[in-house]
Structure 1
Amino acid sequence: MAPVMPPRATRAVSALVGAVLAVAALAGCGSAPAPESPPPTAPAGPGFRAMDCNGVTDADIAKAVGATSFTKVVDNDSGCFWQENTVIGTFGVGMGISTWWYRGSDLDTERTLERSAGRELTEMSLDGNKGFKAHDDNACSIYVTKGQDVITWSIQTMNPGMLPDLCVVAEQLAQRSQDRVN
């Protein structure tokens, strides 16, 4: 007859055998090399300094287009929107001046969107930052990039004859913004 182990010794041996089997099973599964972490991405350089409305004030808007033409209706971390005050019924609602800051976007994405809208594109540079202008009869937008940031200024209206040249307005606001956030 085989010797009988005390219950405590039996549990200890069983636990040891279980642990050895678990390690062996894991070792068999672990024969593939561990996945490598992707290499860190080099930063594209510093972007723009954060400022409310990308550094442009209500007074700057009034100076560019007229004191009573637009009213700020959106002001958040991504940008601002000034609603055009001239509407006929509800026609014209949604027209206005906007500025938005996109982190991690690129100019090619924005070019594609503007081409899809049927706008004419012109390459440009503003304070050493690459960009482009997109325009048609009722809209003009300026896009500028620095590091991983893209800032855009846009004016859209159903009443272009009642305002200064739309691209002159967008360029003034973009330049003022660059003077403050670049």
Structure 2
Amino acid sequence: MGRKWGALVLVAVSAVLVGCANEGDDSSTVATAAPRQVTDPGPFFGLCGSVTDEEVAAAFGMPSFVDVTRNSVGCEWDVTGPGGPSVTFSWYRGSPIGRERAGSELIGRPATEIDVQGHPGFMASSEGILCELGVEFGGDFIHWSVMYANAQPTADPCTVARDLAELSVSRAV
């Protein structure tokens, strides 16, 4: 008996939702999302952009990392835990770089155009404490972010981000 009532409730809810969707709507057209643009995949970057923990530490110039997080889209190297000095690599497949750039600009970090080994991108920074850099590969892009947070910067964050991006691009297959 429980199945019958469950099915009856499902049918009733569906009818109400359909009725509400059409209420006050004289048009017979339905709004649809714009189709996704299909792009060729970019190169393969490997785990952490094919950059080792030692290379990140050398470029960043901070004490040893307390935590290194690796997942399917990138890596994060933290010195003192979340919110502290860190370096982050992300690899976005089939995602527009413009969205990342716009986000940076919306929070007050104007982006400038860059080129990394023939690939267009952007760089945005915040007063020598934070720098993010994105490099485009057709419909894909990689993103490096270097943040010294409250720590005294040991290197220019944009130089660090640029050096790491150069390594990743040179090792892409």
TM-score (normalizing by structure 1): 0.67
SS in 2 for 1:70: coil
Q: Which residue among 150, 157, 162 is the counterpart of 1:171?
A: 162
Q: Give the CA RMSD over aligned residues.
A: 2.3
One-letter identity of the residue aligned with 1:181: A
Call closer, same or farther: CA 1:163–1:69 in 2, change over 3 Å. Answer: farther
User: 1: distance between equivalents of 2:72 and 2:146?
Assistant: 19
Q: Which residue among 88, 104, 107 is the counterpart of 2:97?
A: 107
Residues 101-138 of structure 1: per-residue CA shift (max 9 Å, x gap): 11111121111100112112110111111100011122
User: 2: distance between equivalents of 1:166 and 1:145?
Assistant: 20
Displacement of 1:94 in angstroms is 4.8
Q: Which residue among 113, 128, 135 is the counterpart of 1:144?
A: 135
Please tell me whether the aligned partners of residues 61 and 155 of structure 2 are also in contact (alpha carbons under 8 angstroms): no
Displacement of 1:179 in angstroms is 0.7
Call closer, same or farther: CA 1:147–1:72 in 2, change over 3 Å. Answer: farther
Structure 1: tracts of 5 or more residues without a match: 1-39
User: 1: distance between equivalents of 2:148 and 2:140?
Assistant: 26
Q: For this pair of structures, how many residues does the alignment match?
A: 138
Please tell me whether the aligned partners of residues 93 and 141 of structure 2 are also in contact (alpha carbons under 8 angstroms): yes
SS in 1 for 2:152: helix
Structure with the greater alpha carbon radius of gyration: 1
Structure 2: tracts of 5 or more residues without a match: 1-34
User: 1: distance between equivalents of 2:67 and 2:48?
Assistant: 10
User: Structure 1: which 4+ aligned runs deviate by more than 6 Å?
Assistant: none
User: 1: distance between equivalents of 2:79 and 2:98?
Assistant: 29
User: 1: distance between equivalents of 2:37 and 2:60?
Assistant: 41
User: 2: distance between equivalents of 1:180 and 1:71?
Assistant: 26
Residue 48 (structure 1) aligns with: 43
